């Protein structure tokens, strides 16, 4: 017989905001490319593409950037194109 489900206690990293149970306001993420139709994903637009690459050189995931699945796939291919023709680096220059 299995044990009944017990919810996890809310800690400092929980949605309830830690001890006291006060909820903090979390803003809904949205896809910038769906919201602004004139904004296009392009590997030549280095300033836009760099916003979706971390300081270590990794592609930022959807759950953090807020982009939809369609635009995240397009963004990934454009970042890889920009890396291949050396518009953005593959990794950080100096990591300690």
Task: Give the angle 16-28-66 at the CA atoms, nearest 5°.
Answer: 115
pLDDT tier for residue 84 given thresholds of 50, 70 and 90: very high
Question: pLDDT for 1-48, tens place per residue?
Answer: 566 666 655 555 555 555 666 777 777 778 999 999 898 999 999 999
Quote the CA–CA distance of 7 and 5 in Å, as a whole number.
Answer: 7
Closest alpha carbon to 51 in 40, 39, 59: 59
pLDDT value, residue 18: 57
Q: Where is pLDDT greater, at 11 or 63? A: 63
What residue ranges define each of the domains in the chain, with the CATH number in brackets?
32-84 (4.10.640.10)
User: Is it the case that residue 71 has pLDDT exceeding 60?
Assistant: yes
State if pTM tops 0.75: no
User: Is it the case that residue 73 has pLDDT exceeding 70?
Assistant: yes
Whether the CB-CB separation of 25 and 61 falls below 8 Å is answered with: no
């Amino acid at each position: 017989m299995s044990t009944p489900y017990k919810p996890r206690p809310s800690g400092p990293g929980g949605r309830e905001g830690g001890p006291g149970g006060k909820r903090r306001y979390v803003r809904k993420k949205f896809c910038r490319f769906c919201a602004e139709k004139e904004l296009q994903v392009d590997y030549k637009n280095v300033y836009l593409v760099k916003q979706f690459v971390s300081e270590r050189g990794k592609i930022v995931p959807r759950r953090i950037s807020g982009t939809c699945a369609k635009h995240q796939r397009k963004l990934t291919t454009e970042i890889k194109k920009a890396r291949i023709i050396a518009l953005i680096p593959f990794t950080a220059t100096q990591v300690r």
